Amino acid sequence: MKAQTNLPRLAIASLGGTVSMQAGDGGSGVKPKLGCEEQLAKVPQLSEMAHIEAATLGLLPSASMGFAELLEVLLWAQRAVECGAQAVILTQGTDSLEETAFFLDLLWSSEAPLIMTGAMRAASQPGNDGPANLLAAAHVALAQGSRGRGVLVVMNDQVHCAANVRKTASLALTAFKSPGSGPIGDVVEGVVVYRHPPAHREVLPLPQCTDHRVALLEACLGADTALLQAVASLGYEGLVIAGFGAGHVSSSWANALGTLVPTLPVIVATRTGSGPTALASYGFAGGEIDLQRKGVHMAGQLCPRKCRILLWLLIGAGRQHQLHSWLPR
C-alpha cells in the first residue's frame, strides 16, 4: 500500500513507567522494559493517523524521575515542535504523572499540544490499558481543539488539565480524576469533545538555578514542631504544608511558621484531596486568617504537591515575589 504523504507529524517519547513494564522471571514483579517503538507496535492505528517520530528518553519508574530529567524532556519536546511536529506525546509512569504534567505545563509556551499518558496495568498483564490510552492521546494530540491548552493528561478516554488532575486511587483503572472540576474533555469514538474553549495561559521562564530545594510537610494530629524548626537550617528555600481541612495547622505549628516566613516563602494547602483553602472563615490560632496575618500564602485550589513544584520553579526563575498571583483562588 502506498504510504500517505499528507499526514501530520507526531513526536512520541517514552519515559518508562507501568506502560513500559513487563513481568520478569520467577515472580519478581513487573519492571520497565519496553521502549517507545515497542509500545507503538501495539497500536498499529497510529501509522494511519500521523508520521510518527519515536524516542525512548528513559526507562524509569516515575517515582525515580526528578526535575533535572524533566527539564531535559522539555527541551526534547520543544525541539520536536521546532522541527515540525504538530504535537508531542509523552508516556510515563502514573505515580508522579500529575506532578510532571504540572511541571511541564508551567514551562510549555507552545500552542502545540503536549499530551501525557500512561497505564495502570503493565504491558504484560491481561487487559492492559496502555495501548488504548496511547491511541486516545494521539486523537487528542491531533485535534485542532487541543491547541493552546498547554499540557493535557489523557487517561481512560478522559482529558484533564495539568493543574487539576490527580491520581486518586492506587491500582484502579479509573484512578485519574480532576476533583472539583472534572475532566475538560472526552474522547468519543475517536473524536475529542471539549467542554469549553481554551483559557488564557501564562508560563514561567526556564529556571536559572536548579540546586535549590523546597520542603513538603503534612500537618497531622499531635505533630511536634521539630521538623518545621529545622527546615531553614537544613538549607531549604521554600516550604509547603499540607494542612488540615481548609488550610489549617495547630497553634504550635502556626507559631513555628510565623518564625519561618521572614526567611523563606511558606504555602499552606489542604491535605483533603478536594476543594480550596479558605481565606476568611476561621479565626483561631492556626486558622487561615491567623496564618495570612503571619505572612503565609494560602494555596487556593492547588494541591500541596503542585504547590511545591510551582514554588520550586518560581524560586529558580527568581520570581518568588510573584507567588501570590500564581496561586489560584
Please state, in angstroms and rounded to a whole number, the distance separating the CA atoms of residues 240 and 218. 8
> CA angle 112-305-236, nearest 5°?
115
pLDDT of residue 26: 74
The band of 246, judged by pLDDT with boundaries at 50, 70 and 90, is very high
Average pLDDT over residues 120-128: 95
Domains along the chain with CATH numbers: 9-194 (3.40.50.1170), 214-326 (3.40.50.40)
Please give the single-letter amino acid code of residue 57: L
pTM beyond 0.85: the answer is yes
Please give the single-letter amino acid code of residue 191: V
The band of 4, judged by pLDDT with boundaries at 50, 70 and 90, is low
Helices 97-105 and 304-316 sit at what angle, rounded to 10 degrees?
40
Tens digits of per-residue pLDDT, 29-57?
Answer: 999 999 999 999 999 999 999 999 999 99
Coil vs helix vs strand at 94: coil
Label residue 239 exposed, middle or buried (CB < 10 Å: 0-12, 13-18, 19+).
buried
